[in-house]
Chains A and B, each alone.
Chain A
């Protein structure tokens, strides 16, 4: 009898252990992040990636999502497609449900893998326009303004700002890679659609665009009224400096990866008047949001000072990406209805995001089963007195 009792206890203990392990494993959602801290866009990565992890840590410190903890990890790819594919396969092998992509060439390479493997791929500001078609790429999500939406918004602003009778002359300066070429149809066709504006030329800067004085001379020769700039890495700061050196009068308006505190830090007063669109709020705005205080408190509880990266626009984008995924995770857990969350559930979670503002960092975003583009809205800023001044609050441009 005693032996039976002991045996039963052991069996019960083992079962309880197995169940508890099973439950604890089931109570973890794995979400990955790609990063470039060593490659040509490291100036972005070193600020953007901490934002992602800090927000995930904050969610975990709040108790997770519906009892689930987020296991978040990072793969360094140095903006190189082969390393990114290798990292993606690692994520896949380890059972990750969702990954934030980083870099248009990388998104291009991973988009079909994501569909095959049912892993949600988030590509805010890293995508190519064809992934917006939810029927072709059901597991790829843009979420915030794509390059085309950004270009459309810039044209919309030019149309409103240009008061002269003659057509506004516009030049397009771009990083000569899939990202820079992605919005070319919008760049070429929208002036015809909107009227009173004309595209006078396109000037490419091949990666890594570490010397662009001759490109800026070409721009000057075109004598535009506006330059739409779509560069990455060191290119934006470099061209802002060249613009000042040449004494160019044209208004230069950048897409999201060319407009950050780096351009101001490097060029000082020469950056005055530089403009850019953004799909998240600026760090000054972030500092006023409860999420910034929560992250700062989390650091202080751990005996550390809040990271200086919080003062960067890229950090805000890291938070935004993580927030979109945690919102999706919340819906995915509901969709799973108590069973283990799968890739299909996570996709449903992404497609259930409605009027989500990412803790105040983005314009209200809705993603559905047929619309993976999310919000097309951006804010327009200008460098004035060494600071970012809001020129136009959330707005969007026309479709082609």
Chain B
């Protein structure tokens, strides 16, 4: 029982990490119906920038995180303005290919600017684990879970209560109608990329602390892809639930099935569940069901 509890708690902690990045995916998709394949690379850049703020500019940690969020928002804004806006009106596949191209560029630029060696993040929270019901929990994982929940709360408030948030939802529902009502579609899209950039910055700090910062940090983007599909591409709540669910599934598969099959179940089982879930709910657990008459 303790092992089961350990796997579930660990899965929730890992899931919280996935959630942070999954929100970036969802924000972009919500505003533009584009899957941003450069999300992992943006997380990596966020890690590098935060590290630079801490080690070169020597800012205190909270300020370094805030400045990184600002700079990543700016990067998101520039990407939208420089790459995506000129593609307005082109088929969605062009925009998707542009994000794949952006991923390759960011992966190439990072080692060029910062070198490819692994860099360690200074300790953000104490590293000594403490025990809950006999299960050791790492403060960094708890911090990321808290951060993910905080992000969910802030974004939830933003979408429900603020003018820009409501406008973003309107654009997501029906861009033409939203434009007809006077909402500036371009501004909303830029805002979505900027917020996604800020979320990437947080992901970069947390994942960078755990994995170290190097160009390969971008791989976390791939890990998160099934999370957003399962949760629903256009749902913040889906990103959070999907993240936690996938984390727990991975851990249970690793704990109980890996020893029987010699390993690998951790990577396979979540995708099997994903396929089954999509067969039942093709729009994901919390995604919006769009019924079209054909």
Contact = CB atoms under 8 A, between A and B. Distances in A.
Given A46-B111, A262-B117, A208 B219 contact: yes
A201 B262 CA distance: 10
Interface string A218-237: 10010000000000011001
A210 interface: yes
B47 to A, nearest CB: 12
Contact of B254 (A40, A214, A237, A268): A214
B115 interface: yes
B216 interface: yes
A42 interface: yes
Nearest to B115: A46
Interface in A267-293: 267-270
Interface string B1-26: 00100110011011000000000000
A134 to B, nearest CB: 32
Nearest to B252: A214
Contact of B118 (A204, A265, A269): A265
Interface residues of A, number: 40
Contacts of A203: 258, 263
B113 to A, nearest CB: 14
Interface in B252-287: 254-255, 258-259, 262-264, 266-267
A210 B223 contact: yes
A400 to B, nearest CB: 22
Interface in A249-277: 262, 265-270
Given A217-B251, A234-B212, A237-B211, A266 B118 contact: yes
Interface in A98-140: none
A213 B10 contact: yes
Interface stretch (A143-151, A240-248, A373-381): A240-248
Contact of A233 (B7, B107, B115, B216): B216
Contact of A262 (B111, B118, B219, B262): B118
Contacts of A327: none
Nearest to A202: B262
B129 A247 contact: yes
B120 interface: yes
B220 interface: yes
B220 to A, nearest CB: 7
B181 interface: no
Interface in B71-123: 107, 111, 115-123
Contacts of B259: 201, 218
Interface string A369-398: 000000000000000000000000000000
A74 to B, nearest CB: 15
Q: On chain B, which size bracket covers the interface? A: 35 or more
A215 B14 CA distance: 13
B263 A42 contact: no
A78 B251 CA distance: 29
B250 interface: yes
B156 interface: no
17 contacts: A37-B111, A43-B117, A43-B214, A47-B117, A206-B264, A210-B216, A214-B10, A214-B266, A215-B254, A217-B6, A217-B7, A218-B255, A218-B258, A221-B255, A234-B214, A246-B136, A265-B212
Interface of A: 37-38, 40, 42-43, 46-47, 176, 201-206, 208, 210-211, 213-215, 217-218, 221, 233-234, 237-238, 241, 244-247, 262, 265-270, 312
Interface of B: 3, 6-7, 10-11, 13-14, 107, 111, 115-123, 127-129, 136, 138, 140-141, 210-212, 214-216, 219-220, 223, 250-251, 254-255, 258-259, 262-264, 266-267
Given A244-B127, A247-B128, A262-B212, 20 more contacts: A43-B118, A176-B263, A203-B258, A204-B258, A204-B264, A205-B263, A210-B219, A210-B223, A213-B251, A214-B7, A214-B250, A214-B251, A214-B254, A215-B258, A217-B7, A218-B258, A218-B259, A244-B129, A265-B212, A266-B120
Nearest 7 A-B pairs (CB), nearest first?
A204-B263, A214-B254, A266-B212, A245-B138, A265-B120, A46-B116, A262-B118
